[in-house]
Amino acid sequence: MTATKIFAKWASWGPRLQSVLRIAAAIMFMLAGARKLFNWPAGDPTGGGSVKLLSQLGAAGVLETFGGGLLALGLFARPVAFLLSGEMAVAYFQVHLPRSIWPVLNGGMAAALYCFIWLYISAVGAGPWSLDAWRAKRRAPAPAPVA
């Protein structure tokens, strides 16, 4: 097999790897939300137990846990990803940027990366391994019979 064929074969995996990126990022995102809401798998980042649900951190936990769940399934991926991208932009500018302009110094690398990953998913969709793709196939009209 020539290098050109190998690269072409690898490129054909792009849509599937788009789904893999979405699923892996969503599961990690859900863990951040579960930590805020349920102190799971480790204690709350504020150090005082689970966050108050009607607080900004509580709202972030709800978005991360349940929005991340929808993204892991690939359900309503475009609008959910757009919403979560905005959440991560707010988190970065409100919490991390005042500490330093450099993400590696201000603790905002994850927020910045999630912001751009979710923005990408909002533009391109969930990929072929998603409930959105399954729903689109079910709604597609059947081909007309050939006479």
| Tens of pLDDT, residues 42-97 | 775 666 677 888 999 999 999 999 999 999 999 999 999 999 999 999 999 999 99
- When comparing pLDDT for 52 and 126, which is higher? 126
**pTM, to two decimals:** 0.88
For every residue of 18-83, DSSP letters joined together read HHHHHHHHHHHHHHHHHHHHH--SS--TTSSSSPPTTSHHHHHHHIIIIIHHHHHHTSSHHHHHHH
Residue spans of the domains in the chain: they are 16-133
Residue 142: pLDDT over 80 = no
The number of C-alpha atoms within 13 Å of 103 and in the hemisphere containing its C-beta is 12
